[in-house]
Structure 1
Amino acid sequence: MAGLSLVAVPGVAQASGGKGGGKPVEGSGKGDMKGGVIYAETKIRTSGNGTKGTAKTGTLTAGDHNWTPPACWYEPAFSPKEIEAQVKAWRGLDLPFLSGIGDFVGDVLDSRYKDGKPYKDYNLDKQGKGMFWAAVKNPNRPDDPAANACNKQPFWVDEGEDSGEPLAVSPQVLAEYAYDEIEIPSTKVTLAPEGETKVNLPTWAWLDKARFKKLSVTATLPDTNLSATTTATPESLRIEPGTKDAETYPASGVCKIGKDGRIGEPYAKGNAKKTPPCGVKYLRSSGDGSYDLKATITWKVSWTSTTDPGQHPMPDGEFGGEQNVVVKEIQSVNR
C-alpha cells in the first residue's frame, strides 16, 4: 500500500478531545492513507491579530535553526461509525492498474478494527464514549520528513483518559502550531531622504510604529479544554546595507526597540547634523543600479495556555525583506 492515497467519506463523531479528556469533540470523518497509515485532517482552529487572512507578507523563521514547529502529532479524529464508514469506502475502491486493491485494503483494516485484532466491530458499542486518535500532519509542513515519526494507525482512547502517546496534541503542540500561523507585516523601512540618497550622507531609517506591534495567535482544539496563545513582540531591527562600502547606525547594524515602542526615529527638519539612532551611510555610489538593503526584524516569542497560565519562552523569530536603495555621488549636500 506504499504511496497509496485514498479519501474517505465525511461524518460526525462524539468522543473525548485532548490529552487528559474533556468535552466531546466533533470529528471531520475525513482521512487519507499514505504508506499504509491512516492520517486525519487537523481540527485545530486559530484566531488572533496575527492570523492568516490579515494584511501580511510572511511568517516567522526560528532564529534557532535546530528548532521547527512539530511536523505531526496525534489528535482525536474518528468515531467508531466513522472508522466503519472509512473501511467500507476503501473496500469499494478499485483502480484499473490495481485490480482488487480496495478489497485488500478493506481486509487489512477489518482485521484491525472489526475482527478483534485489537478492536472488535469497530468499537461500535463505545460510540460516544471515546474516539480513535489518528496521526495528523502539520498542514504548514506537509513535506517535512519529520512527519514520518507519526506512523501509528488510529488507536482508541476512552473519553476522559490520557492517550499515553508522547506525540499527542497538547498545549505546547498548539502553541508551536500557532507559531507557524503568526503573520508578520513587511519589514520595508522608511528612509530619509527617500527615493535616493547620497554618498556620505547619513540616511535615517525607521519602522511604522502602528504596524510593528505585539502579535498573537490562539490555537484551539474545538470543544476541549486545550488552547494555547503564542505571542510575538518586535525586539530589534537588523540593517544590512547590501555593500561593504557602507556604515550603519549603530555600528552593529542592530537597532533596538525604544521605550516608546518604536524602532528607529523618523527624520525631522533640523536634524540634518544629528547622527540617526538607526540608519546607514553609503560610502560609494550605486552607479546605474542600486543596493539591496535588507531589513530583518527579530521577534521575541512566548506562549501561555488554558492549563498553564505561565509564560513559556519559544525560539526568537525572524522575518526580513529587501528594498532597493539608489545612491548618487555629489560634491556637497544641503538639508
Structure 2
Amino acid sequence: MLLGALAAIAAIAFLAEARLKVAAAAYFDASIVLALLALAIAGPLPALLVWIVPDAISRLVIRQDRLCSPGLVATVSSFALAVLAGYGVLQLAAAPSMVAATPALFTAGLVMYSVNFLFARLTFAPFYQGFRPSVLIRSEFRDMLPPFAAMLALGLATAALIGPLGVFALAPLAMVVVVPQLALAALGRDRSVARLSRPDATKLYAAAIADALALPRRERRTVAGAAAALARATPGELEADRWGVEELPDAILAALHVNERWDGTGWPAGLSGSWTPLPSRVLAVARAWSELTAGGTVELSHSEALLDLTLRAGAELDPAVVKAAEQVVAEEEAFVRAPGFQPRLHRLPLPRPVRRAKLPTVLAHLTRPT
C-alpha cells in the first residue's frame, strides 16, 4: 500500500504539472524523495519503479515524449545508478530502524540527487541538447539544491512517521507535493475564450480589466452590471430618453456611453477623454477585445487582439484601459498554454495585492523554463 501511495503521489503531481505551459522548475518535485522512501521501505527495484512513474506516463500515456529516444536511456540509467548509490549508503549505515536511519537517509538523498544530475543532465544534456555545463550546474544543481533539501527534510520526517502511522504518514508530503501542482494546473487549464459568446467574453474581460485597474468595489459592480445590461438589452432598451436623469442607474449610464470614443467622435453624447465614465471606457475595451477573440469572431490570439487594441488606443479607446488589458494578459500568459485563454486571476479569492502583484510573479518564477 505504501509503494502504491508513493507511485500515486508521483503520478498525480506529474499529471498536474504536465498541464502547465512549462514545468514548475522542481520547486515541488519530490520524485527523488519518493524514490528514497521506496528505497528505505522495499529496496532498489521498487524505488526505481516509483521514480520512473512520471517518465513512463510521459512516454506511454500522454505521449509528451517519444517512447524510444536517447533521453530514455539517460533517464533510466541515471535513475538506476542513483538508486544503487543511495542503496549502498543505506547498507553501509545498517540502521536498526527508520528513525535511526535518518542521517543515512539524508546522505542517501543527497547522493541520489548528485548522481542523477551527474548522469542525466551533466553527461547527457551538453552532448544531446547543447547546454553548457556551467549553466546546468548553476541553474539545475546549485539553484535547485535548497528546495530539494527542504523537500528531503520533509521526506525524512515522513519516513520517521511511517512506523507509527503507516500510509497516513504520507499525507503531509502529499499535500506539499500535490496541492501546489494541482493549483498551478487549475490556473493553467486550457480554457479558451473562443468557447464563450461575445457577451460572456465581454463580461469576463471587463471584470479582469477592472481588477487590473484596481477599481473600487462599487465601480467593479457598475462594470459588471453594465456588461450584463449590454448582454441582455434589446434594441431601444438602452436609449437615454427612456430614463429620467435622477433614476438612471450607474450600470445603465455606463452601458449608455459604451459607444463614446476617446477622441470625442462617438455617441450618444460625443464625450471625450475622461469625460466618459470610466466603467464605460472599461466596457468599450472589453467589448472590442471580445469582438476579436470570442467564439464566432475572427478568434485571434490575445497578442494579436492586443495589437489591434493598441492601434485603436488614443482615438477610439482609452490608452490606460488598453494598458490594463495588456497587463491582464502579461500576468497570466507565463503559465497558461492556450494563446486565447480565459483570464482568471481576478476570480481568485485572495487580496488584490496578492492576486495581482505577488501571485503572478511567483507563478512566473515557478513555471520558468529550467
**Higher fraction of helix:** 2
> Quick check: TM above 0.5?
no
**Higher fraction of strand:** 1
* TM-score, structure 1 as length reference: 0.35
